[in-house]
Structure 1
Amino acid sequence: MASLERHQQIIDIVQQKGYESVSNLCKTMKVSAVTIRKDLKFLEKAGKLYRTHGGASNTNPFITDRPVNEKETMQTAEKKAIGKKAATYITQDDSIIIASGTTMLALAREIQPQQKLIVITAALQVASELIKHNNVDIMQLGGIVRQSSSSVVGRYAEEILQDFFCSKLYLGVDGIDFEFGITTSNSMEAQLNKSMLGVVQRVIVLADHTKFGKRGFSRICGLQDIDEIITDKGISPAIVDQCQRLGIKITIAD
């Protein structure tokens, strides 16, 4: 197969699937991984696709910060499904941390506690949503309020966390990259999230399918530092396969 023909076939596959791995492209094209990686490098420079860890994507992996009111209008059905599934993990007399983000707000809206629940949160909207439940004790972290996310960040929030330990952390992210890890677009938020990781038994990432293959400015942690990802049915089967090969538990919400 000539290189021009191979390049066009790679472009067509990536455009159709959204993501394709190097290994699958090798099988399809019957060429080596070295050749495919050279092809992907050439096509990325030509603006035809984006290289990711172990493959290629048709969407830009680099993200920018967006206002929370804009994010709320995006993937609303997916976030609701993810939030509903995540809420089923809450047990009797549980204590949890809910980080910031619109998927965290979707989770808060799905929580209907039958028994006592303690919630520590950085998100003002999450606290506002949960305050209507008489059997929910809310600890609102204090600090600098980020207008773009309606959540707090900073040293005061990080220091408060040192006095507590919770069963699980629900973490919202801006990007999940198999090489770079779990990311957000704000460095102070990433630092607070790192502090949250240290005071919980389980870390559960809530992320719709558009977050995979994306990179935010600031790294929160590696994929090995999380216990589970809850996502929606729009996720690519290729990404699910890659998660499973890496030993990452991934749950798809209906």
Structure 2
Amino acid sequence: MQLSSKNKQGARGAESNALRLCDACGGPATGDRVPGKRGARHRTVKETHVARDARWDALLELVGKHGRVEVEEAAAALAVSAATIRRDLDQLAEQHLLTRTRGGAVAHGVSYELALRYKTGRHAPEKQAIGRAVSGLVAVGEVVGLTGGTTVTEVARALAVRPDIVGETTVAGGQPTLTVVTNALNIASELAIRPQIKMVVTGGVARPQSYELTGPLAVGVMNEITLDVAVLGVNAIDIERGAYVHHEGEASVNRLLAERAQRVVVAADSSKIGKRAFARVCDLGLVDVLVTDSRITAEARDRFGEAGVQVIAV
């Protein structure tokens, strides 16, 4: 059956008005005009997904800070509908990043931590500045131990672009310009492509939250090495009790890393200061330098100094 001219125009009009839907939000997916709203345009798929990722970061931040989040409060804070928040929480729960409850969500437990991929953007400028400062404390030819974590990852990236490290293939005697020992898979993957840097990776079982290797294999390697400097990433550092991380397996490996080093540097932004987490790495007697951002309080800086820890604020 052939369509009349009028029917053809109607069919074309219906086709042109059809909107492809976005799987993430249920709305138009291509930047099409929103029906009934003059001049309004639905966000593109890319824009929608960026907005979703920002919401997820904000929701995880709330859970990490308060231990729980309520749907209505989160919807008001993020200026979206309660239905959107419920869908976000369901998807985060499917990824085991939180536990869904009636009316909201809660952290998994005392040792709750965000997966590394969701922590990367938090305090990013501070972490990058800290990374550059810590890199400056490392001399060419040294053996450096690096734990995992977003701040120590920035240290690794700063080391990887230092001209005196990557500009020469070897130092005197044919030795690498730097030897790095790490239990962090993401750090190893970033530095392994630098032929000037000798990479030593511990064995162990990988933790998906932090990409760190833990367990007897990692401990066995740490017991057989010596380091010039160890750089520790921490989840908290307390003047009275020392440095902490969320996971006991990471704490034991990080403690060994510190014990095998002549100098120990803690790299932590100021949001970690004065806090405690589940598993202690070491007390301040083992820490030589704390590199943090300029938001550290004068009181905290003085107290760290009294404990024998040099504070470098950037």
- Distance in 2, matches of 1:250 and 1:91, equals 19
Equivalent pairs counted in the alignment come to 192
Q: What is the aligned-residue RMSD (CA, Å)?
A: 1.4
- In the alignment, the residues of structure 1 paired with residue 261 and residue 309 of structure 2 have an alpha-carbon distance, to the nearest angstrom, of 18
Q: Deviations 1:3-31 (Å, cap 9, x if unpaired)? A: xxxxxxxxxxxxxxxxxxxxxxxxxxxxx
Task: Report what 1:229 is aligned to.
Answer: 290
Higher Rg of the two aligned structures: 2
Q: What is the correspondence of 1:4-23 to structure 2 with a 5 Å cutoff?
A: none
Normalising by structure 2, we get a TM-score of 0.59
Q: Distance in 2 between matches of 1:188 and 1:172?
A: 14
The counterpart of 1:65, out of the listed 109, 113, 137, is: 113
Aligned-partner Cα distance in 2 for 1:98–1:247: 22
Is structure 2 residue 215 aligned with structure 1 residue 144?
no
Instruction: Structure 1: state its 5+ residue gaps.
Output: 1-61
Match of 1:101 in 2: 149
**What is the aligned counterpart of 2:133 among 85, 89, 92?**
85
Structure having the higher strand fraction is: 1
2:135 matches 1:74: no
Partner Cα distance (2:222, 2:300) in 1: 33
Aligned partners of 1:246, 1:196: CA distance in 2, in Å?
21
For 1:69, what is the secondary structure of its paired residue? Answer: helix
User: Residue 163 of structure 1: which of 208, 211, 224 is its match?
Assistant: 224
SS across alignment from 2:134: helix
- Using the TM superposition, give the Cα deviation of residue 63 of structure 1 relative to its aligned residue in structure 2, in angstroms: 6.8
Q: 1:88 to 1:162 in 2, by over 3 A?
A: same
SS for the counterpart of 2:133 is: helix
Q: Is the 8 A contact 1:64 1:216 kept in 2?
A: no
Counterpart of 1:67 in structure 2: which amino acid? A
8 Å contact from structure 2 (residues 130, 292) kept in 1:
yes
Equivalent of 1:127 in 180, 185, 188: 188
Q: In the alignment, what sits opposite 1:110?
A: 158
Query: What one-letter code is carried by the residue in structure 2 that aligns with 1:107?
Result: V
Q: Is the 8 A contact 1:119 1:138 kept in 2?
A: yes
Distance 2:301 2:225 in 1: 34
Using the TM superposition, give the Cα deviation of residue 132 of structure 1 relative to its aligned residue in structure 2, in angstroms: 2.4
For the residues of structure 1 that align with 2:133 and 2:119, how far apart are their CA atoms?
Answer: 20
Equivalent-residue separation in structure 2 for 1:108 and 1:216 (angstroms): 24
Q: CA deviation at 1:180?
A: 2.1
Amino acid at match of 2:189: S
What is the CA–CA distance in structure 2 between the aligned matches of 1:214 and 1:199, rounded to whole Å? 25
Shift of 1:72: 0.5
By how many angstroms is 1:103 displaced? 0.6
Q: CA deviation digits over 1:220-251, x for unaligned, max 9? A: 11111111100011212221122123232111
For structure 2, which runs of at least 5 residues remain unmatched after alignment? 1-109, 172-176
- 1:3 maps to none
Q: Which residue of 2 aligns with 1:215?
A: 276
User: In 2, are the aligned partners of 1:63 and 1:215 still within 8 Å (CA)?
Assistant: no
1:195 partnered with 2:262: no
- The share of aligned pairs that are identical, in percent, is 29
Greater RCO (CA < 8 Å, at least 6 residues apart): 1
What's the counterpart of residue 240 of structure 1?
301
| Contact 1:230/1:251, CA 8 A, preserved across alignment | yes
The one-letter amino acid of 2:113's match is D
